[in-house]
Amino acid sequence: MSPTTQVSAADLVTALLRDDLRGQTAYGAPQLDVAVRLNTNENSYDVPPDVVAAITAAVADVAVHLNRYPDRELVSVRKALAHYLTGQTGVPLTVDQLWAANGSNEVLQHLVQAFGGAGRTALGFTPAYSMHPNIARTMGTTWVDGTRGAPSGTFDLTAESAAEQVRAYQPHLVFLCSPNNPTGTALDLDVVQAVLDAAPRSLVVVDEAYAEFARPGTPSAVSLLADHPLLVVTRTMSKAFALAGARLGYLAGAPELLDALRLVRLPYHLSDPTQAVALAALAHDASLLRTVEAIKAQRDRIVAELGALGYPPVPSDANFVLFGGLVDAPATWQTLLEHGVLVRDVGLAGYLRVTAGTPAETDAFLAAVADLPDSHRRPTPADPSPTGSPPLPQEPHP
Ligand SMILES: Cc1ncc(COP(=O)(O)O)c(C=O)c1O
């Protein structure tokens, strides 16, 4: 009998697992079969028929050559992305400034692989996108949870506070998220500029996954690239482009910085079918992005109506809304689920996050919220007999 047969597989795995990963929980937004799924900030609209036809034809074209590896440099995709991002931001960009991978999560991973790791520190401003610390830690990087909200008590991040935290922690990498997930609001460029000034030798990542949904006049950090070789702006086709299933994320940054990413990416990391889908989609960007205005209208409706229902929303530049005023967010999450509406518990005491989707989805969500018993709502000073106390800190729902 082998010496390992009495030991369970779980024990064997745990014993061998890296010390820093033991006891960690995996990313786990629930993928439940529910009528109204508003928990992962996907675009609720199907890919339109003209784009489906273009994608199908493009994938058929590459199918015959799948015996060969894809273009390792993904030049056509990067060219198309440079063209799109130039048009979207008004900042001229060239192919050698664009990088792409399987979702912006993989782009972020490339950045941490190249610039993070053991002995390195990354700083983010919490609450923000949970994969920033997750990716940093899985690469052995020390994560520092910076704060937002000082001195206002809201979720805003001021230039002064961001710069002060950067100076205090001296991180190798700084993560900014604009519009910020889960709070929804975009950053003023003076915050990005203050971080760049405070950390001239650090990699500054501005995650703009939701940029296309921002309110008019919101500038992109792409406009700061020319003067800052250690600044990168990450974007995705998962949200506004309604292509979460295609897995295509990208960044804009200095050509020299992209060379560093070539050291860590796996060879041929972006498959031919993925490149074909991305190219077909980018050739039909106007058609795909047609839903953006409709989604923004639902977002603004959610903000207005949640406020009227007594659940204060955070102003949003994204395709989701964070709302508060809850006595017990996990309990409200469960009650909404029982109404067939799946939202996101992001682990913030008293808050939940809802994605803005179709008008029918908004109807269902708002109806479910309106049906919540009063006991879900934290009493406000305007209520007749206030009994509320601040909610206790809570863990995110699995
Ligand atoms: C802020 C932010 N960045 C990046 C991502 C990752 O997107 P993807 O990997 O689908 O491009 C998400 C997904 O929800 C996000 O919210």
Amino acid at 314: V
Please identify, by atom number, the ligand 1 atom nearest to the C-alpha of residue 238. 10
- Mean of per-residue pLDDT scores for the chain: 93
For residue range 347-395, what is the model confidence (pLDDT) as tens digits? 999 999 999 999 999 999 999 999 999 999 998 766 665 444 444 334 3
Any idea how long the chain is? 398
**How many Å apart are CA 214 and CA 312, to the nearest integer?**
20
Are residues 146 and 125 in contact, defined by beta-carbon separation less than 8 angstroms? yes
Q: Which of 293, 318, 353 is nearest to 45 (CA)?
A: 293
Q: What is the pLDDT of residue 28?
A: 73
Q: Which of 227, 311, 268 is nearest to 71 (CA)?
A: 268
Task: Tell me the pairing of strands 249-252 and 320-323.
Answer: unpaired
Give yes or no for residue 29 having a pLDDT over 90: no
Q: Quick count: other Cβ atoms within 10 Å of Cβ 150?
A: 14
Please identify, by atom number, the ligand 1 atom nearest to the C-alpha of residue 41. 14
For the chain, percent of residues with pLDDT exceeding 70: 93
For residue range 162-209, what is the model confidence (pLDDT) as tens digits? 999 999 999 999 999 999 999 999 999 999 999 999 999 999 999 999
Question: Of all helices (H) and strands (E), which one includes residue 274?
Answer: helix 272-283
Best residue for ligand 1 mutational test, from 81, 132, 239 (most atoms within 8 Å of Cβ): 239
Task: Identify the band that residue 23 occupies on the pLDDT scale cut at 50, 70 and 90.
Answer: confident
Q: What is the pLDDT of residue 2?
A: 57
Q: What are residue 353's DSSP bridge partners?
A: 322, 344
Torsion angle defined by CA atoms of residues 372, 335, 300 and 131, in that order, rounded to the nearest 10 degrees: 150
For residue 236, the CA-to-ligand 1 centroid distance in Å is 7
Q: What is the pLDDT of residue 385?
A: 52
For residue range 102-141, what is the model confidence (pLDDT) as tens digits? 999 999 999 999 999 999 999 999 999 999 999 999 999 9
Judge if 15-46+290-376 and 49-285 fold alike in CATH terms. Answer: no
For residue 209, the CA-to-ligand 1 centroid distance in Å is 6
Domains in the chain: boundaries: 15-46+290-376, 49-285
Q: Which of 113, 102, 143, 103 is nearest to 126 (CA)?
A: 143
**Matching CATH number, 49-285, of 2.40.160.60, 3.40.50.300, 3.40.640.10, 3.90.226.10:** 3.40.640.10
Are residues 174 and 122 in contact, defined by beta-carbon separation less than 8 angstroms? yes
Give yes or no for residue 226 having a pLDDT over 50: yes
For residue range 80-113, what is the model confidence (pLDDT) as tens digits? 999 999 999 999 999 999 999 999 999 999 999 9
Across the chain, how many H-helices and E-strands are there? Answer: 13, 11
Q: What is the pLDDT of residue 381?
A: 67
**How many Å apart are CA 165 and CA 112, to the nearest integer?**
20
Give yes or no for residue 151 having a pLDDT over 70: no
Torsion angle defined by CA atoms of residues 243, 248, 252 and 253, in that order, rounded to the nearest 10 degrees: 160
From the centroid of its chain, how far is CA 380? 32
Task: Identify the band that residue 154 occupies on the pLDDT scale cut at 50, 70 and 90.
Answer: confident
Beta strands in 242-366 (DSSP E): 249-252, 320-323, 341-342, 352-355
For residue 241, the CA-to-ligand 1 centroid distance in Å is 13
Where on the phi/psi map is residue 380: left (φ > 0), alpha (ψ -120 to 50), or beta?
beta
**How many Å apart are CA 172 and CA 304, to the nearest integer?**
40
Tell which CATH architecture fits domain 15-46+290-376. Answer: Alpha-Beta Complex (3.90)
Which residue's entry shows tokens 């506070």?
161
**Model pTM score:** 0.93
For the chain, percent of residues with pLDDT exceeding 90: 87
Task: Identify the band that residue 291 occupies on the pLDDT scale cut at 50, 70 and 90.
Answer: very high
Torsion angle defined by CA atoms of residues 126, 131, 135 and 141, in that order, rounded to the nearest 10 degrees: 10
Q: Within 6 Å (CB) of ligand 1, which residues are found?
A: 41, 103-105, 129, 177, 181, 207, 209, 236, 238, 244, 249
For residue range 7-21, what is the model confidence (pLDDT) as tens digits? 999 999 999 999 988
Please identify, by atom number, the ligand 1 atom nearest to the C-alpha of residue 236. 11
Task: Identify the band that residue 293 occupies on the pLDDT scale cut at 50, 70 and 90.
Answer: very high
Are residues 237 and 249 in contact, defined by beta-carbon separation less than 8 angstroms? yes
For residue 374, the CA-to-ligand 1 centroid distance in Å is 34
Tokens of 254: 């200095």
Section 265-283 average pLDDT: 98
Q: Which residue's CA is minimally distant from atom 3 of ligand 1?
A: 209
Report DSSP state, residue 383: S
Q: What is the pLDDT of residue 168?
A: 97
